Amino acid sequence: MCDPPTRLTARKGAFVRISTEQRRARLGSRHRLARKAATPEEAAASVVALHGTDPATVFLSAGARLAEPGPEPVERALYTERTLVRMTGMRRTVFVVPAGLAPVVHHSSMLPIARRERASMLKAFGPGGWDDARLKEVEASVLAALAAAGEATTTELGVLEPRLREQVRVAVGKPYEGVVSVGSRLLPLMAMDGLLVRRGRHSGTWISGQHRWGLAPEMAELAVHEAQAELARRWLAAFGPGTEADLKWWTGWTLKDVRAALAAVGAVAVELAEGTGFVLPGDLDEVAAPEPWAALLPALDPTPMGWQARDWYLPPEHRAELFDRSGNIGPTVWWDGRVVGGWAQRRDGEIVWRLLADVGADARAAVEAEVAGLAAWLGGITVTPRFRTPLERALSAGPSAES
């Protein structure tokens, strides 16, 4: 039995200090990497939302946190029970969130992005004869078609509403001039507005990015400030302590919105190595460190993408190998709360990995066990990240230092 948690003590005249070791202990326990989740919904909630830009990330991130990993429970939650919802959210990123959180994400983060996207679309499509009235007419037609059909792919919707297939030349005269279909921009915009949702897979395995569109269920109304406060509360519960800059980066909000949300939940200031951070009220008790743990996290996993300041779990000297030029993290190897290497798959499905730090024999053995477990539930599926990083490319193409 673990000893009861002790109270972190504040120095006189200073904030309570939360150490790097304590942050790593919280990460391992709360992100379900040291103490596994029973369901995909619990796994997603442990990190607020799973990154969904790359379809495979959802399954690999959930699998890393599940006591019994595999694609079947995640597919069931997404496509049968619909307790997990794929939607555009913070920073205009696609996430998979617990269904009950969808209104919070929508009202806290998505509506301003949708307004900007609509204005951008009208500006780009205007020379082609598209105005707001015409877009809304096509939107109404799409909604009517889905009400009758239930679900449809983008191609099927293009048959039901031919104007979706209309091609428009954009960025005329610029180096990136090109031609896009109306549907390629309008359908995602309708999802941002809370009218459509991405539902079941169209074809292929669980790594496929093809999907079917359906009508979005009725969404609870929330005031923006209420939704932002709730999202900040959940982020602090999962990622706290974190700084204002961390929350601003993660949400894409203005600093004013971040500060208002932190005030609304009564966030408590604490001292971190990076400066002032925040936790929820009542979250100053020290968290007992879990047993040492290893994990293989996929590209864009929500844990390494949860903070802007990452030095406390990811040494700066390794960033160039583990991130692409746009700031997307690749597959990472973790040991006891910090990134210690990277991994990849070769074309034949073999999982290869490389340590970037000397972590000892126990850590290597734990990583090997994780590799074996991941290989078993992948069942021959090979995953190539959508955003590729230097180390992932090198490992997938050649021999690894460890195997």
Helices assigned H by DSSP within 317-403: 319-322, 361-378, 390-397
pLDDT of residue 206: 86
Would you state the structure tokens that stand for residue 264, as one six-digit string?
A: 């609304």
In-domain check, residue 116: yes
Residue 2 resides in a domain? no
- Residue 286 domain flag: no
Q: Last residue of some domain: 215, 235, 255?
A: 215
Same domain, 189 and 336: no
Distance between CA atoms of residues 28 and 112, nearest Å: 34
Per-residue model confidence as pLDDT tens digits over 25-68 = 999 999 999 999 999 999 999 999 999 999 999 999 999 999 99
Residues 174 and 314 in one domain: no
Tell me: do 91 and 228 sit in the same domain.
Answer: yes
In which residue are the tokens 């955003």 written? 387
> Based on the domain organization, do 156 and 134 belong to the same domain?
yes
Instruction: Judge if 208 and 351 occupy the same domain.
Output: no
Q: Which of 250, 279, 308 lies at the terminal end of a domain, its last residue?
A: 279
Q: What's the confidence (pLDDT) of residue 14?
A: 54
Same domain, 229 and 91: yes
- Provide the number of structural domains found in the chain: 3
Report if residue 360 sits inside a domain: yes
Indicate whether 8 belongs to any domain.
no
Phi and psi at residue 341, in whole multiples of 5°? 175, -170
296 membership: H or E segment, kind and range: strand 294-297
Q: Are residues 232 and 264 in the same domain?
A: yes
Residue type, 292: P
**Among 236, 243, 400, 241, CA closest to 333:** 400
Which pLDDT does position 4 carry in this prediction? Answer: 37
Average confidence score pLDDT of the chain: 92
Residue type at 77 in one-letter notation: A
206 in the same domain as 118: yes
Give the 3-state secondary structure percentages of the chain, helix then strand then coil, rounded to 5.
45, 20, 35
Instruction: Please give the structure tokens belonging to residue 340.
Output: 């210690």
For residue 168, the domain's CATH number is 1.10.10
| 288 within domain boundaries | no
176 is in which domain, residue-wise? 109-215
CA nearest neighbour of 392 among 356, 366, 362: 356
Q: Same structural domain for residues 95 and 227? A: yes
**Per-residue pLDDT, 202:** 55
> Is residue 353 included in any domain, yes or no?
yes
Place of tokens 């983008």: 154
* Distance, CA of 203 to CA of 183 (rounded, Å): 20
pLDDT digits (tens, 9 = 90+) for 98-135: 999 999 999 999 988 999 999 999 998 988 889 999 99
Q: Are residues 203 and 55 in the same domain?
A: no
| Residues 356, 321 share a domain | yes
Which pLDDT score, from 0 to 100, does residue 209 have?
74
What contacts 344, CB < 8 A, 6 or more positions away?
A: 330, 331, 351, 352, 353, 391, 392, 393, 395, 396
Q: Is the pLDDT at 169 greater than 90, yes or no?
A: no
Q: How confident is the model at residue 203 (pLDDT cuts 50, 70, 90)?
A: low
In a domain, 382, yes or no: yes
Structure tokens at 30: 């709360």
pLDDT digits (tens, 9 = 90+) for 343-395: 999 999 999 999 999 999 999 999 999 999 999 999 989 999 999 999 999 99
Please report which confidence band the pLDDT of residue 8 belongs to, taking 50, 70 and 90 as the band edges: very low
Task: Please check whether residue 270 is in contact with residue 16, taking contact to mean a CB–CB distance below 8 angstroms.
Answer: yes
Q: How many CB atoms lie within 10 A of CB 163?
A: 17
The string of DSSP codes covering 264-295 is: HTTPEEEEETTEEEEE-TT--BPPPPPPP-EE
Q: Do residues 304 and 384 both lie within one domain?
A: yes
